[in-house]
Amino acid sequence: MPAHILVAEDQADIRDLIVLNLQQAGYRVQAVADGTAALASQAEEAHDLLLLDLMLPGMDGLDVCKALRGRGRATPILMLTAKSTELDRVLGLELGADDYLTKPFSMAELLARVKALLRRAELLRAAALAPAAPAQVLRNGALELLPSRREARVGGRALDFTALEFDLLLHFTSHPGRVFSRAQLLDAVWGYTHEGYEHTVTTHINRLRAKLEADPMQPQFILTVRGAGYKMRDAPG
């Protein structure tokens, strides 16, 4: 069955154009014009992806994102914003959005982001449904990753990551000690490199660090800044 996408956008011309292009790409689409309706729609039916405009009447996109994540909903969220300030974009990511697009954007770029987010979500679902079997384990100190199961543990304690956070952590764990620029991480993990979107990398890394460093007894896998890039320390096994 085609993925079901909810579009929350108050500008009718933009909303209709997005819906048309998503439908032509083969997706099922539902559209709403305000944040309250977006949150209500998510409560009534599980969508595979939410395209969420930042500036919505009723509840804005930040409030909707915060409410969904507060309820434990892991639906991938692509934030759409016309605001030019970096703070608004970073706030959206910190509240749990997976990625963002700044208006004006091309439909080809939108469809590429949608496809990437849906692919990651599908990998996560497939891993959860896969039968138990011996799996490859990547280790860095007390950190253990099982790529085929999309699972991560620290000192035996399971960690909860979004699909993008897991892919980012997997990339670092697969290349311990190597320094990556934000542009390189965008290309390797997100699947695109576009100037102006590097802040999504910074915010996801900050979220990773917060989860990995939650246990003060396990400090050896801190993601560190090296010049203009990031690296994961190659911890002793």
Q: What is the pLDDT of residues 7-42, one digit of tens each?
A: 999 999 999 999 999 999 999 999 999 999 999 998
Is a pLDDT exceeding 50 seen at residue 222? yes
Q: Which CATH class is domain 132-232?
A: mainly alpha
Q: What is the mean pLDDT of residues 88-109?
A: 83
For residues 189 and 198, what is the distance between their CA atoms, to the nearest angstrom? 12
CB-CB contact of 218 with 140 (8 Å): no
Greatest alpha-carbon pair distance for the chain in Å reads 56
Q: Which of 4-13, 89-98, 129-138, 194-203 has the highest mean predicted lDDT (pLDDT)?
A: 4-13
In the CATH scheme, what is the homologous superfamily, with its name and number, of domain 4-126? Answer: Response regulator (3.40.50.2300)
The domain segmentation of the chain, as residue ranges, is 4-126, 132-232
| pLDDT (tens digit per residue) in 45-85 | 789 999 999 989 989 999 999 899 888 788 889 999 876 66
For residues 131 and 108, what is the distance between their CA atoms, to the nearest angstrom? 36
pTM of the complete model: 0.67
Are 4-126 and 132-232 the same fold in CATH? Answer: no
